[in-house]
Structure 1
């Protein structure tokens, strides 16, 4: 059979059927093709359904909910009186809503909304969409769906860049802003742990991530703390659940945001009430770089002695008191 005859018979077959008079083997191939197409379709539907199911189970386990958005569903947890002033908490790179657990008691009289950024925690982990401006737009859309009209937005580390971008985009929504150990500029970065650095190296990093264990993850978190703290298993599980792409692209997006313009310059232009909390022994960002935020006229700067990159865990009482005192003074609705 020449190529022209094959093409003609393929055209006559229409939707997968064998051409009249086609050889038995040809008709069998058509049946196998139909079965394969149907099987792939069923598997795709099952995988999509399983992803939605996993997100829903994660939300239920955390007491949270899933907010459906184009480009990826977002996991959120709400605490406190729904009619109280709203405080939005945004975690950092490789974080999740669980990173805020230690300071929740201090904010129990506020309506607290914790958000898992795209690619993190219980939120979707698609192939793209990790730019800081995109993450900020997504947080704004989540708050709109939740009916939040005005809020103090708090961001830890990379979450501080998302909070800043949200304030730039939504002056109607953001009444005040808090950044916690958010690097002001890229060259203030001190460095990751040895394991954390290797994860960012092409090829090597992908291999490490593929073989990641709880021990590897805890090693990568080494510079996130200065004090000896107990890192909950949930935090390790949330990090393990990330994809390599969501991890590295979020990291690169944060750097790009700061290279475009330093965070203090952005905050200075916003003119919003601003609280800056920084650990005096931060091992990821130069502690002295916290002074860059003095360029923000409306900023109050709190340096915590003996504390590293994660004040929520290392000094939860002090951090919680600072947050509560600030939001009480602002009290947006």
Structure 2
């Protein structure tokens, strides 16, 4: 999606702490991760940005707006579960990769094919997984991934995302796959109660709209950001 978005916007793609090429942080707590994103935006001298996050990245985007309203013009949440009660039973391959005792052993021996299979398990349509995404996931350790999942759960258990956003009065776009196997697709409608929210469900799409339907997802984001700047 980056090329389509960059044709109209200055796009900054962030590797969150401990993921991709970013080093491990002192804490994987969602507010701490948001603090590091805020520090990056401060260093770049940016204000009032359109923030977009997929899945757990949506929690960081929400926490960023909670901490620094001056930095956030709008928020796009892609496949971002509103609370833990919306979580579905996970595909077998993901349970095997993420749960002891097999998880650490399988994680250390992941092939590129296994990483692609793990990603595809949350998609509904066939997807082409880019090599750079595989490389980023290969660089993410088992303990890091588990820590991120635990901290995400803590964040949305303490307070659901719609409730957090209700206090912010920031324009919100919610994009969900209508066949998401990770989060109950109907749970996306919980965001519809927000006064400045738009909710779009993509038919025949799973948890990875940016890979399953990149053109449609990009167009939704571009339309939303254009309206949010008026």
TM-score by length of 2: 0.95
The C-alpha deviation readout for 1:21-60, integer Å capped at 9, x for no partner, is: xxxxxxxxxxxxxxxxxxxxxxxxxxxxxxxxxxxxxxxx
Pick aligned residue for 2:50 from 113, 129, 152:
152
Superposition RMSD in Å: 1.4
5+ residue gaps, structure 1, are: 1-101
Pick aligned residue for 1:296 from 182, 194, 201:
194
Partners of 2:203 and 2:111 lie apart in 1 by 32
Aligned residues of 2:120 and 2:127 also touching (Cα < 8 A): no
Deviation at 1:103, TM superposition (A): 4.4
TM-score by length of 1: 0.66
**Larger CA Rg, structure 1 vs 2:** 1
Q: Which runs of 4+ in 1 moved over 4 A?
A: none
The C-alpha deviation readout for 1:280-331, integer Å capped at 9, x for no partner, is: 0111111111111122121111111111111111111111111111111123
1:306 equivalenced with 2:212 (yes/no): no
The aligned counterpart of 2:21 is: 122
Deviation at 1:142, TM superposition (A): 0.5
The C-alpha deviation readout for 1:95-142, integer Å capped at 9, x for no partner, is: xxxxxxx3431441211111000111111135x421111100000000
Pick aligned residue for 2:131 from 233, 246, 259:
233
Aligned residues of 2:93 and 2:121 also touching (Cα < 8 A): no
Deviation at 1:250, TM superposition (A): 0.6
Aligned residues of 1:180 and 1:277 also touching (Cα < 8 A): yes
Asked which structure has the greater RCO (Cα within 8 Å, sep 6+), the reply is 2
Trace 1:170-249 onto structure 2 (pairs within 5 A): 170-249=68-147
SS in 2 for 1:221: helix
The aligned counterpart of 2:8 is: 109
Partners of 2:229 and 2:188 lie apart in 1 by 25
Pick aligned residue for 1:326 from 224, 227, 230:
224
The C-alpha deviation readout for 1:189-228, integer Å capped at 9, x for no partner, is: 1133212112222232111112221222222213321101
Partners of 1:223 and 1:285 lie apart in 2 by 13
Partners of 1:106 and 1:116 lie apart in 2 by 18
Aligned residues of 1:103 and 1:316 also touching (Cα < 8 A): no
5+ residue gaps, structure 2, are: none
